[in-house]
Structure formats: C-alpha cells, structure tokens
A and B are shown apart, each in its own frame.
Chain A
Amino acid sequence: MSLPDRTGLSRREYLRAVVAVGGASALGACLAEDGETEDAVPGGTDDPESLPSRQHAWNDALSTDDDGNVQLPEHHVLVALSLVDDGEPTDEARETVETSLRTLERAYEWSNEGLVFTVGYTPAYFERIGSPTAETVELPEPTALTVREDPEPDDFDALLHLASDHAEVVLRAEEALFGEVEEVNGVAVETDLSTVFERLDDRRRTGFIGPGLPAEHTDTSGVPEEIPEDAPFFMGFRSGFRANQATEDRATITEGPFAGGTTQHVSSMDLQLETWFKQDSHRQRVSKMFSPEHVDEDLVGDIGEKLSTSSGVTDERIEATEEDARTRGVVGHAQKAARAREDGQPLLLRRDFNTVDGDRPGVHFLSLQREIEEFVRVRNAMTGADLAGNGVGGVQNNGILQYIFVNRRGNYLLPPRPLRALPSGDPA
C-alpha cells in the first residue's frame, strides 16, 4: 500500500489513513504531520511489576467520557504474526519476545495517551508448537457462528493488538517491535521480534473509534453522507456503556495456569451503511439497534447522547424480546444480545472498532470473555434464530443482522502478562 495523498484530507483523516498503511514510510509521514506529538507522549516504566498482571487490564488506564464510560483509544492496529520456527519455543525465543514487549512498556505510559496492547495466541499456535491447551483452557478453532457466513479462520499464530490515541504511537510501536526504528519514545530498541515472528502484511488490520471519526470517511465508497457528524461508530450510535460491558473481572479466567488471562474473539465484518442510513429511518435504526421501546420513549437521541452509562435496555425489555418480535414486528440488537446475560451481568467486554480496511466500511469486532463458549452463546442470542419467523424475518427487523457481513473469525488466548511470551499449552 502506498501513502495517501495529503490533499483534501483533514489531519485526522490523514493520520488514520497513514496508520492503515503502516511501516516506516507511514511513520515518517506521521511525524511530518504531527512532529510535535513525539515529545508529548508520556513515557513508560522500568518496573514491570508496576503494571497489571492482566494484559487486558486497560480500563483503569484509559480515559472516560463525560458520563464515566471507558473510552477506547482512537487508533488500533491488529498485527498478525506467524512463527518463524516450528516446534516448542526456546527459552531464548521467549526471552526475545518478553524483552521486545518490555521495550514498549518502558517507552510508553500504559494509557490511551501512551500505548496499551495485548498479545494473543490462536489454537493453531498451540497446535504448531505441539503443546495443546486441552487440559488448561477451552480454545476451539474458529468456526462459522451463523448460517449466513463462511468466515476465513485466523489460522496464523498470534495477534498483537496495539491501541493509542496517537497514530504515531501505534505505528512506531509496531516498527520498534520489528526493529525498523532504533528508538521508541526515547528508549533504545535493542531487541525485536523479527527472529521469532514474521508479520503477515495481508492480515494486518487497522481501525479507529471516536466521536466524529466515522463521518470523516464519507469519501470511502459505501460510507454515506448521512452518517451523523458526531457518531463514534459507523452505525451512528454510541456503544460500550459501562452497564452493558462485562467487567474485566468477569472476563478474566479464574482458574488454572492461565488465571488472570482471558479469551479473545475477533471477527471482521463488512457493514451495509447505505441501506442503514438511506433507507431505514432514524426510528427504525433505534428500534433495530436498541428496542422498539427506545423509540416510544425517545430514549436515545440522535446518536445516543440521551443515554449515559447504560443502553437503557431494562430487564423488562430483555424479557419482552420475543413479545416485541411478535407484537411490534421488530427487535433491537442490544435487547437481543442482552438475553445472554448471566445473573444480570453482560458476559462480553467488547473492544470493537471501525475500519475502512479494503476501502470499505467495516468493524473489527474484538471481544474479551472468560470463555470462547460465552461469546458463542451471546452471538447466538444476537442471531435470534428463535425469533425468525415469529414476527420478524431471518435478518429483517431482527436487530442489525441485515447490515453485517462476517468475513473472518479468530479465537485467541490472552495469557496473563507473566506468560505472554510464547506460552506452552500447559505451563505447569
């Protein structure tokens, strides 16, 4: 990919486009655009013990919105990694990985202003190193989860998720990990991953999230002008309210050698925004995204500004999902998905973000949960096959199914930080 043409793009658009390209030239372009940021990025720590032992412990390190909901960093990169050597990883390789990752932690504050990241491993990885997780954690191969999809599996070995409010930081961190730069935020890069991992460029994924960012992409084919100016997500509504997310505790593995870790599901999907914004009305969008009651009671506002720390889906509405299908002819996504709560608590910690990878609108839906099986359960609730034919269609008026088209799925184990470097499947 080549660098985007700067003309006609806002600063933010340009930076986003540069992140999508990646590599040293992108980093250069980014610095040229944003030269002063480098100094402004807060540095990290030399004391690894001061960092949380959960890789996914981001919430306390991130900013919050005016209502107190955790805000994900603006820029995201998912770097797909393939092991250079087969077989059980050597201590040296583990050392290399750990040192490389610590370089980033020394360079950047663990925050949205600096950098947060995770590294996760696929079932294919444990297979390749000949060390199954059968005894320690349930980590199934990714499969199709609905009848409407035929996803490519993430069958490479590992995935690095880098996130920061600064485009330059995610780019430089990635370059540093592969020895393409000598210094990262004032810290010398002495060790890098390139002897252990190869980057799979055609599997590299990028994205962004934040109020106003989607509306900056109306030049992209399939992104209509009608996207609300301030919407943080392509589909036009706020998401990720505190009450509708699993807590990090709830998403964390509690037993066995991987206690303190979590599982991650990543699905990548295309979005049909033309239909959503040019054909459906706002009231339809609200009823399909939240619930028909949200329309009656005018709970949402344009983009969800009337909601604060909850989607406003009450226990009563969750309970009434079937009835809404039959008597209202429509059910909401949030209402349907919430049917899978356990003891009233959501099971998924969603960290999904928008993308224009492939020059079309999509979502990289990244979700953390204690077990992959929980994701599957919630996804089934969201599919609502039980509702189809009972007042709503297979996809039509059945939440947001009509607008999403899944292309890839991947399952990962995110080990706790002490085990994050090339874990075996059964670390004693």
Chain B
Amino acid sequence: MMNRRRFFYCAGSVAALTTAAGCLGDDDSGDGPDADDETRTTAENETDERRVAPDLPEIEDPPDAVYVPTHREAMQMLEPVEAGAYALAPMLSYPHPFWLVDGRETERVDPDGSPAVHLMFTLWDADTGLVLPVESGAQIRVERDGQEVGSPRSPWAMISQEMGFHFGDNVPLDEDGTYTVEVTLPPIGVRKTGALEGRFAETETATFEFTYDEDFRRAVIGGIEYLDEDLWGERGALEPMEHGQGGGGDEGDDHEHDDSNAHDEGDGEDTGHEGEDGHDADGHEEGGGNGQHEDHGDGHVPYSSLPPAEDYPETLLGDPETGDATLVTTLLESDTRLTDGSHPYLLVSPRTPYNRVPLADMAISATIGRDGEELATVDLEQTLDDEYDLHYGAELVDVQPETGDTVTLTVESPPQVSRHRGYETAFLEMPPVEVEVDMEVPE
C-alpha cells in the first residue's frame, strides 16, 4: 500500500487571505475561502460536483518579465518517494493553464474541462538533496483498478514561482477513485560533474497513489489563495512554497513577508560585482552555501534554488540580466576539477530573479573579445554539478582570458522549459549581454 497521508500546502508568505479552513485536509473544506469575493468573480459554485477546475481571473497585458500572478496555487502534497538515487515529491492540483515554449514563443495550454489533475513532482538527488533541474525523458503511467488510464506520457519540465523546477502536466482521469502513478526515471544524460559524476545512470521507478474525489476537488479549488488585486501583474514573484511536513500542513502563516511578491526589480540582485571574495570556494564544497542542500530530509521537499551570485567563487565576472533572467558568470581557474586541469572554465548560471530558479535547456555561447576583436566563440554545455548546480560551462582552450577582455554571452535559445503563470512572459527575448574580465587568471 502506498503512502496515502495527505497534507496540503496552503498559505505561504502572502497576506493570509485564507485561513486554515482553506487549507484543508479537514472535512469542512468545502466552505472554501470567502475572504475575497470580489476577485472570485466566476469561481462561485463551490458545491457543484462537476467542477474540476476553478475559473481563474486573467491578467490583461502582463509585463514581459516575471510577474505576480493572481493567486497562489493550492495543492495536495503526497509523501515523498525514494527510488534508487532519486527522491521525488508528488503534488496534485486542479488542471490549470500553463505555457509550452516553442523557440522564443509560447503556446498556452488550457485544460478542457474534463476530469483531470495537474500532476507534478519535484525530483532530487536522494543523497545530496539537490533538485535535478534537467529534462531527461521521465515517463508516467496512470492506472485505476489495474487498468491503464490513457496513454503513457512524458510530463513537461516546468518552472513555477512556488514549486521551482518540477515536472508536470494536466493529466486526464476518468471517474472518482484511487489512482496509481508509476514514474519511470531514465538515466540523466547531461554532463555531470563533481559528486554527481557517474551518478543517475540507472533507470528507476517510483510509484504513488492518490484519490480523486469531491473532497480533493473542493480542497484544491477552495484552497486557492487570491492575492490582493493591486499586486496582480506587478513585477515580482511569489515566494517558494514551504512544504509542510506532517498532517494539516504547516502553513507558515506566522511569517507574512508582505514584500515577498514585491521584490523590486533588481533588489533581489544585490550581489554587486565584488568578485574579490570569490576565493572561498572551499567553504562551499560540501554544499553548505546552497540553501537547498540544507532542507532535505524527512518529509522535506527541497526547492530548486541556486546559490546567490556572491557564493560563486573565483573570478566573478558579473551577473548581467537579460530577458529578466540573471546570468551569474564566473571564471574558474585552470586547476578547477571541472576541466582536465589545464584550462580555465567559464561558468554561466542563469536563474530567475527573486527565487533563483535554475533555467534549464537553454543554449548559450560565449565570445571572448580583446581590444574590440573577437578571439574565440565557444558553445557552453549544460552541466549539473553538486556544488555549482545547473550551469552552462566550457573549458577555454583556445584563449587565455586577461583582465579587460570582454565576454559576450549569447542566448542562442531561451530555456525550453514550460512555464506556470507569472513566468510565461519572461526568459524569451534574451539579447546578448557582456561582462568584463576583471581579474587576471594565473597561468
């Protein structure tokens, strides 16, 4: 029997529009939140048995940048499951719109009104707690009473402000009942370095169960937390969700960072360019500098958050912004373990503003210039490292960077990961950015 303990995430750090009653897991969940009737224009019939998804308000004309959506998504958290080298935390919500990325364009996917769940999972390294933010062909099969429901699918790699990098899809179901989900996790093919080298080479399978019924629908639809309408479409982001451990969900409502969704542009990027302190690399070797490493363990679900720019060692070349993403760029000396030891390593770590969610499946190239001349252009390779996490890197073989050189980062294709609301207008048009080498790299 699978672990069926449910716990709902609910209020986070926005002003508590919802009280514990909206946070459910308990029976009078159906009452739903009533705090903010005005914004719930169309989402009325809480008692309608057929209602499989809420009618969510739209934001007209959102900025071409990360923005605050109208609400926090309510979801059911299932107990994390381990499978070989992996751990994953399944999450379920009502089916809702999301956006596929097609080159530099997005394609909105709308649920079609039939019974379905938005099924998600966060996948991480069971050893280090590092979220694995790359798409390598995970598959899910859904069964009910031993019968496969629909065809297998490979859920989309997605980013959301609340869940960070995860896999998800609107998955059609048939009737109410208990469903079993089998997740197959093939080996991770991208370049892996450090403690991750050689790992995730086996296919693993994880299984979990959930119940789809009126209680579930009421809980997740009723549990939606609408934000103050003033905030809708403002630049900013919801804070990462805090995953409750244990029963009723720890709402974390004791700390209402009202500013969470109002990080001013830029003020999340307060790292400056003081690259000089970049030599404390060793301090990070055990992952201590990386917030997400700390909170793995019983019942905790890590969030894919990259270390802040100042935690990148060696020569921090800068953290320019493009398309509302930040490209933390650093140069590792030739003795770095990321190369074979004879050449320096250019490391670019693109992330979302505010929550520092890694941006996967991009293509980035770097052009080194000196005195107005191009010395070399290299393609950076997507790499997963236990210390630096997801980044794009290249060994600089043909050119020895010197102080005063420019490094032009060209985003050849923006992150091809699907987007939850609030991320779909950002990270698409990403013009080239330039940083300057301001520290001599020793021979």
Q: Which residues from chain A sit less than 8 Å from chain B, CB to CB? A: 147-148, 150, 221-222, 270-275, 278-281, 283-284, 287, 292, 325-330, 360-361, 385, 388-397, 401-403, 405
Contact = CB atoms under 8 A, between A and B. Distances in A.
B107 interface: yes
Given A274-B172, A284-B107, A147 B412 contact: no
Given A391-B416, A393-B135, A396-B157, A326 B189 contact: no
A75 to B, nearest CB: 23
B414 A389 contact: no
Given A222-B150, A326-B413, A391 B102 contact: no
Contacts of A389: 134, 189-191, 361, 381-382
B137 interface: yes
Interface in B150-191: 150-154, 156-157, 169, 172, 184, 186-191
Nearest to A407: B152
23 contacts: A147-B137, A272-B152, A274-B150, A278-B112, A325-B413, A329-B102, A330-B102, A330-B103, A360-B148, A385-B189, A389-B191, A390-B379, A390-B381, A391-B361, A393-B134, A393-B137, A394-B136, A395-B136, A396-B154, A396-B156, A396-B416, A397-B102, A397-B361
B363 interface: yes
A284 B154 CA distance: 16
A281 B108 CA distance: 9
Given A274-B172, A329-B103, A393 B363 contact: no
B400 interface: no
Interface string B400-415: 0000000000001110
A130 to B, nearest CB: 35
Contact of A393 (B157, B184, B191): B157
Nearest to A270: B151
Nearest to A329: B413
Contact of A327 (B135, B150, B172, B412): B412
B112 A397 contact: no
Interface in B70-107: 100-104, 107
Contacts of B189: 147, 385, 388-389, 394
Interface of B: 100-104, 107, 109, 112, 134-137, 139, 148-154, 156-157, 169, 172, 184, 186-191, 203, 360-363, 365, 379, 381-382, 412-414, 416
Contacts of A328: 103, 413
A329 B150 contact: no
Contacts of B107: 279-281, 284
A260 B100 CA distance: 48
A343 B216 CA distance: 59
A205 B157 CA distance: 34
B109 A279 contact: yes
B135 A391 contact: no
Contacts of A279: 100, 107, 109
A394 B134 CA distance: 8
Contacts of B362: 391
Contacts of A278: 109, 112
Contacts of A281: 102, 107
Contacts of A402: 137, 154
B151 A271 contact: yes
Given A148-B137, A391-B416, 19 more contacts: A147-B203, A222-B151, A270-B151, A272-B152, A272-B154, A275-B169, A279-B100, A326-B413, A327-B412, A361-B151, A389-B190, A391-B362, A391-B413, A393-B135, A394-B186, A394-B188, A394-B189, A402-B137, A405-B139
Contacts of B363: 325-327, 329, 390-391
A221 B157 CA distance: 25
Contacts of B184: 148
A394 B151 CA distance: 20
A388 B100 contact: no
B96 to A, nearest CB: 13
B103 A275 contact: no
B382 A360 contact: no
A284 B137 contact: no
B388 to A, nearest CB: 16
B327 to A, nearest CB: 16
Given A329-B101, A389-B382, A405-B139, A397 B416 contact: yes
A148 B172 CA distance: 23
B416 A284 contact: no
Contacts of A388: 136, 189-190
B17 to A, nearest CB: 31
Nearest to B154: A402
A405 B186 CA distance: 13
A392 B150 contact: no
Contacts of B112: 278
Contacts of A392: 361, 416
Contacts of B135: 393-396
A272 B169 CA distance: 13
A361 B153 CA distance: 13
A171 B326 CA distance: 64
Contacts of A148: 137, 139, 184, 186
A403 B186 CA distance: 15
A251 B135 CA distance: 36
A284 B416 CA distance: 12
B324 to A, nearest CB: 18
Given A147-B189, A283-B102, A326-B412, A395 B381 contact: no
B66 to A, nearest CB: 20
A292, A361, A397, most chain B CB atoms within 10 A:
A397
A221 B150 contact: yes
Nearest to B171: A274
A280 B413 CA distance: 19
A104 to B, nearest CB: 35
